[in-house]
Amino acid sequence: MISLDNITLGYKSRILLSDADTAFPKATLTSLIGRNGTGKSTLLRAIAGLNPQFTGSILLDGHDLRSLSPARLARTLAFVSTQRTRIPSMRCADAVAMGRAPYTNWIGRMQKEDEEIVMRSLADVGMTDFAQRTLDTMSDGECQRVMIARALAQDTPIILLDEPTSFLDMPSRYDLVDLLGRLAHEQGKCILFSTHELDIATERCDAVAMIDTPRLIHLPAKEFISAGYLSLIFNN
SS3 192: strand
CA 157 to chain centre: 11
The DSSP letter of residue 128 is G
CB-based contacts of 37, cutoff 8 Å, min separation 6 = none
pLDDT tens per residue across all 236 residues of the chain: 999 999 999 877 789 999 999 999 999 999 999 988 899 999 999 999 998 889 999 999 999 999 999 999 999 999 998 877 778 889 999 999 999 999 987 666 888 999 999 999 999 998 999 999 999 998 888 888 899 999 999 999 999 999 998 878 888 889 989 999 999 999 999 999 999 999 999 999 999 999 999 999 999 999 999 988 888 777 65
- Number of Cβ within a 10 Å radius of residue 80: 20
